[in-house]
Amino acid sequence: MVKLFNDTFNINEIIDSNSTEVLLESEFTIADDMPGIEKLVDTEGKAKLNNVTVTTDNIIVDGKLIYNIIYRSNNENGIIHSMSGEIPFREEVGVEGVTEDMEAFTNVFIDYIDAEQLTERSFLVKAVLILDTDIYMKRPVTYVSDLESDGSIQAKSKNIAFSDTIAELSEEININDAVELSKGSGEIDKIIKTAADVYMTNMDVLNDKMLLEGICKVGFMFVEDDEQHTIGYVSEEFPFTHYLELEDLRENMIKDISISVKDMTYSTTENFDDEKKLIEFALPFTVNASFYDTIEKNIIMDCYSTDYELELQSEKVNLSSIKKMTNEVVKYENNFDLPSGSVKDIYSVDISPKVSEKRIADNKYIIDGFLDVNMLYLNGDINKIDKAFASLPFAADFLIDEEDALCKIYSDIRVHKCNAYRKGNNSVNINCEINVGVKFKNDEEITVIRDIAERSPVDRSKMPSLIFRVVQSGETLWDIAKNYNLSINYLKELNDIPEDNALEPGTKIIIARTV
């Protein structure tokens, strides 16, 4: 007779991961009160998700692409103008086996965006978005944690480890401040481009609080209110601190902290000298924090009886354990030459990373890719704003140990502190920091026994009294003992098997029938 002891643990089981490419293309016409287009200078965009819905065999993603173009007008002054708009999208991602009780988490990023001039008053925006989606199912898992019997039950157990989400926090921070133009600048006529970047510089655990320190960097490209319609650019950094409160917060907890920047609002106003040189802004951003702990359990993976045939109720479970998370910063510097024209002044530079390969070599995790550089500058040959593009190779690497190399490694690349400087008439030097967030995970599929029932007695009448069994490659003592419903200790006594139960392929095992 067997007596079972059951227990339950909760898991967030990953069901599937999917990456989908979304192609967007839409035609737009500039407003009637705006001058016609001489040349499209720059196109940029932000992708936003409105809703992610899980249905049977489908993930439905709704969102929009918000674009902004900068163009030179076709009037004699060649004044710079900007125009924004939206392209909605709805993508159905087919994932077989997905059901409505599952959850989907989607990240969206722009792989490519550009605009093509069609006429003096119309243009075509083209973009490629990448949707990366992970599908999870939160559920309890009931398992046999221990059992008692008269000695006839042979059980094989295993220590398992998985990550348990202790807490998930999402807190909004709002930076309200102002940027003032220098004394030598003219007054502001209009803002034609904005930029905002928020990144962390330090994290500390203090009792039940986590101190976050970081930098908020904002930039504004503007047209001055003068006869030449001079273009200027101003940027400034603002430090911030924020506390996350969590009961029983510990330093050794695995912490996943990320920042998502929302839309910045701004207005131009007068400074103390009654000059329109002040830009007041509000930049909201959200700090998303997940805290994980590693839970260890001892579970029975398999069992059999030497006296009875057993009926096992079991299920396969995908366990995910986060071993560790790190952030690595790689400083980057490179030069590129303009294909034509000369650099008289640099207004702004945007740098976005594109990963081409991730690999492990020489005890290092290596990421190879390209930095797409978009720079707006004053072309000295024509004395007008122009755009330069370069795709520069980069490699980010850092040391990992042998255990890390056995994990599944997930990495996320972000670029901060981007700067560009003139280096001669037609050469530019850029530098930035490549921030690599790395997650090391152990994913394992295990069999969990939920119930055990004794059925008919084991019939040994047809078994020969003596068997000589040759050990096959990959076969274990457990496999052989279970196949003949014999105890492991009994086989060890018959065959002088070492304490570690190791069997060499080709070895002969004596199996004697028991009565």
Give the pLDDT score at 253: 87
Q: Give percent of the chain with pLDDT exceeding 70.
A: 99
Give the pLDDT score at 150: 83
Q: What is the mean pLDDT of residues 140-159?
A: 88
Burial state string for 439-458 with b = 16 or more CB within 10 A and e = fewer than 16: bbbbeeebebbeebebeeeb
pLDDT in tens, 394-411: 999 989 999 999 999 999
CATH topology of domain 460-515: Membrane-bound Lytic Murein Transglycosylase D; Chain A (3.10.350)
| C-alpha pair distances (Å), 134 with each of 54, 250, 290 | 11, 28, 16
For residue 76, the 8-state DSSP code is: T
Read off the pLDDT band of 513 (50, 70, 90). Answer: confident
Beta-carbon contacts of 332 under 8 Å, excluding residues fewer than 6 positions away, are 371, 394, 431, 432, 433, 434
Q: What is the mean pLDDT of residues 269-297?
A: 94
* Cα gap 486→511, rounded to integer Å: 9
pLDDT in tens, 476-498: 999 999 999 998 888 888 888 88
User: Looking at the predicted structure, is the pLDDT value of residue 67 above 90?
Assistant: yes
Give the pLDDT score at 76: 66
User: Looking at the predicted structure, is the pLDDT value of residue 78 above 70?
Assistant: no
Domain spans of the chain, in order of start = 12-139, 460-515
CB 475, CB 509: distance < 8 Å: no
For residue 317, the 8-state DSSP code is: E
CB 373, CB 389: distance < 8 Å: yes
Q: Give percent of the chain with pLDDT exceeding 90.
A: 65
Give the pLDDT score at 461: 81
Give the pLDDT score at 125: 97
By C-alpha distance, which of 19, 220, 18 is closest to 111? 19
| C-alpha pair distances (Å), 330 with each of 86, 355, 492 | 35, 15, 57
Q: Considering only residues 279 and 162, tell me which one the structure prediction assigns the higher pLDDT.
A: 279
- Predicted TM-score (pTM) of this structure: 0.83
The distance from CA 129 to its chain's CA centroid, rounded to whole angstroms, is: 15
User: Looking at the predicted structure, is the pLDDT value of residue 504 above 90?
Assistant: no
**H or E segment at 108?**
strand 103-119
User: Looking at the predicted structure, is the pLDDT value of residue 417 above 80?
Assistant: yes
Q: Considering only residues 226 and 346, tell me which one the structure prediction assigns the higher pLDDT.
A: 346
Report DSSP letters for 159-215, one per residue: EEEEEEEEEEEEEEEEEEEEEE--TTS--EEEEEEEEEEEEEEEEEEETTEEEEEEE
Q: What is the mean pLDDT of residues 130-140?
A: 91
User: Looking at the predicted structure, is the pLDDT value of residue 26 above 90?
Assistant: yes
Give the pLDDT score at 515: 60
Out of 1-5, 313-317, 342-346, pick the least confident.
1-5
User: Looking at the predicted structure, is the pLDDT value of residue 430 above 90?
Assistant: yes
By C-alpha distance, which of 327, 344, 487 is closest to 426? 344
Give the pLDDT score at 178: 97
